[in-house]
Structure 1
Amino acid sequence: MKKIPVDCPCCEAKLKVAKLVCDSCETEVVGKFSLPVLMQLTVEEQEFVLNFLIHSGSLKEMANQMGKSYPTVRNILDDLIQKMKALMNKNSVGRNRNI
């Protein structure tokens, strides 16, 4: 199965899911659905989060694996946390607007 694209190939804006299909009964759900926060991250950022979890949150182990210094890995994590908070705020604003 192909990886889901998250950015528009023409203008690079974030894509929204428009249709979901059940493989079992072929039911289709159509609408505009936001991607979950983790799917809105770049592939590299998703891999960082996955490695963070696999290493039980040990930045020291991640720094060794990535061949980078601890402060560099800490800065990457801090930047990623800020990005995720911004995405979460953006998503919650959109939901509140629809209520």
Structure 2
Amino acid sequence: MQKNILNSCPVCNHQLLVTKLKCCHCDTTIEGSFKLCKFSKLSEEHKDFIDVFIKNRGNIKEIERELGISYPTVRNKLEAVISALGHNYVEVKTNNKKEVLESLNRGDITAEEAVKLLKE
């Protein structure tokens, strides 16, 4: 029986390093230091949400229906996944040039996003 890979050390909670890979078919074993993809670090709840999101092609109404949750809950779950993946996008709510530039300076938005907001 195969188990899910651990996201972090059960003793100290720090990141684990994969050091051995084995083929299920021919028993070939490869040893070394391997990085996990960023998706492997997500919780099962986040992975389940991503699965539903992709299956429904990002259609919020279908996601609401399948999961039996409201639009704000879908948005919150999506924001949680985005944050867990290390993307900390902060929406600039106004077109105030000073606020856009401050958001850019803090690193909340990219230069491309700032240019787009300044053109609006």
Tell me the TM-score normalised to structure 2 length.
0.62
Deviation by residue 1:42-83 (Cα, 9 ceiling, x = unmatched): 011000100101112112211222222102211211221232
* Equivalent residue pairs, number: 86
2:45 is aligned to 44
Q: How does 1:7-18 map to 2 (within 5 A)?
A: 7-18=8-19
Q: Percent identity?
A: 37
1:5 is aligned to 6
Q: How does 1:6-85 map to 2 (within 5 A)?
A: 6-85=7-86
| Larger helix proportion of the pair | 1
Q: CA deviation at 1:5?
A: 1.6
Q: CA deviation at 1:16?
A: 1.9
Bigger Rg over Cα: 2
Letter in 1 for 2:77: I
State the superposition RMSD in angstroms. 1.7
More relative contact order in 1 or in 2 (CA 8 Å, sep 6+)? 1
Show structure 1 runs of 5+ residues with no match: 87-99
SS at match of 1:32: strand
Question: 3-12 or 34-43, which moves further after superposition?
Answer: 3-12
Show structure 2 runs of 5+ residues with no match: 88-120
Counterpart CA distance in 2 for 1:75 and 1:15 is 28
Tell me the TM-score normalised to structure 1 length.
0.73
